[in-house]
Amino acid sequence: MSLSAELKIYLDVNFKGLKLFRPLFFAGAFGLRFDLQDAVLETSEDAYFEEVVRRMDKIHAITTTENDDILLLYRKDTYKRRKIRLANYLFKQISKNATIELKRRRTPFYDYEGVNASVRSCQVLIKDSVNNINFHNLYVAISNMDFGRSPVLEDREGELYIINLTRNTVTIMYDDRGCDIISYDVSLLKEYYNQLSDLILEVNRPEIINKLNII
């Protein structure tokens, strides 16, 4: 079975056929939103980016374990004949034994309402366990995307979804600003909320508390 077929079946079974799009928090499942920015630090400071990655590393440490099975979905809008290149920094952060599927044909790209917003997109799927993927380096690269810093994912664009097949969660780090995680396991999200309450995005905290029935 191809990884794309496996992903479709997985989403149908565990996420009621949910389509992955940004912002993930509004995709339809229960979710958490995290603030990766320190309001005191400036983007001109290295300390700003170090804090972004520190927060993302903390989220990662609580929401994954080394033996979790992961499916990475990296997707980007493309123009004309542009593709995801194997020289992409992403491929340098995974094991040589990882299962990889690179789709060089048109695939759906959805907007925030779940509507097919583009047919000119391509994606790569990577399946492996957490301990074989250098997530710290990926978080550094994503945090750099809008600032001309290195390392960075190819062309400073695209979106990387982290699908935890063991815990049935989907996580996306947008850029230096924030991260969403969704699941239909409310108990698990409550556990994450309690451990990561200091990083919850305040503007969405009331909605999260209400939907998860947090007391």
Kindly compute the dihedral angle of the four CA atoms of residues 124, 127, 132, 133, in this order, to the nearest 10 degrees: 40
Judge whether 35 lies within some domain.
Answer: no
Q: Is residue 153 part of a domain?
A: yes
Domain membership flag for residue 51: no
Looking at the domain assignment, is residue 193 inside a domain?
A: no
Residue 152 has pLDDT above 80, yes or no: yes
Question: What count of Cα atoms within 13 Å lies in the side-chain half-sphere of residue 70?
Answer: 27
Count structural domains, the chain: 1
pTM (two decimals): 0.91
Count of positions (residues) in the chain: 215
* Local structure of residue 133 (DSSP, 8 states): B
Inside any domain, residue 57 = no
For residue 214, tell me if it sits in a domain: no
pLDDT confidence bin for 123, thresholds 50/70/90: confident
SS3 114: coil
Average pLDDT over residues 90-118: 74
Q: What is the model's pLDDT at position 139?
A: 98
